[in-house]
Amino acid sequence: MKRDAVFYSSLIMAFSAGFADTSTFTVADGLFSAHITGNFVVFAYKLSHHHTLSDFTNLISFPVFILAVILTRKVDRIYKSERKIFASIGFFLIIAGCIAFILKQNHIQTGFIYHFMLMLIVFAMGIQNTANRLYTNSTFGSTTVMTGNVTKALLDFFSYISTQHTPEKLIELQKSLVLLTGFLLGCILGAWLSSVFGLVSMLIPAVLILAYYIPLSKYSLFLKLISHKN
């Protein structure tokens, strides 16, 4: 991929992961949708303080995440389409956002459909985690878990200022900063918008992903069909 394309995909996907992870954590009682192992920590905390049946819902995210990884790998072997894999993330998020809107209109905050909507978000983030592994050159690094990116950014920074004043080290530092900045912006906006609008806010990263990964030719064809009918 061209460098500009990698830059935009890194920024959009890091933003989307930060947005989704913080939104579900804020609205859905501490559910991590992207940083899936964090749910074990939340579960252990809840279990030590007050154990009810609802505390176990966070653990459901793990088999859903595994299913997303397996199916993404199988689909990739069949179609070998990077854009379709990434676009599917937006597709699942937009379904989750639409379900969240219907639930919000009916003041529903529990039940099977509600948890199904949450698991759709987890499933989308499972696809993103897998896509990062399958297409390592499509982004500057992991777009879902920032611990490794923070470590790499710090090492690159100290290497650059201490001994290696090379353009290569500066570029590597900039790559990490793109991912961290995108993720941080996603976290801030996700926390704010989800607290106001609930998980309807999932439509924001969904639209961003679909707008970027679906080729413009598809949109132009759609517009032509509409104008032809009119």
* Cβ-proximal residues to 28 (8 Å cutoff; 6+ apart), any chain: 118, 199
Q: Are 176 and 154 in contact (CB under 8 A)?
A: no
pLDDT(4) > 90: no
Q: How far, CA to CA in Å, does 110 sit from each of 54, 123, 171, 200?
A: 10, 19, 46, 15
Q: What is the pLDDT of residues 98-117, one digit of tens each?
A: 999 999 999 888 888 999 99
Domain borders along the chain are: 3-139+182-229
Q: What is the pLDDT of residues 33-46, one digit of tens each?
A: 998 888 888 888 87
| Average per-residue pLDDT for the chain | 86
Query: Does domain 3-139+182-229 sit in CATH 1.20.1250?
Result: yes
149's CB contacts (< 8 A; 6+ apart) are 141, 142, 176, 179, 180, 183
Q: pLDDT above 90 covers what percent of the chain?
A: 52
Question: Bigger pLDDT: 15 or 223?
Answer: 15
Structure tokens at 180: 């961290």
Integer Cα distance of 182 and 7 in angstroms: 11
pLDDT at 216: 53
Share of the chain above pLDDT 70, in %: 88
Give the pLDDT band of residue 222 (cuts 50, 70, 90).
very low
CB contact at 8 A, 175 and 6: no
Name the pTM for this structure.
0.88
Which of 182-186, 212-216, 221-225 is most confident?
A: 182-186
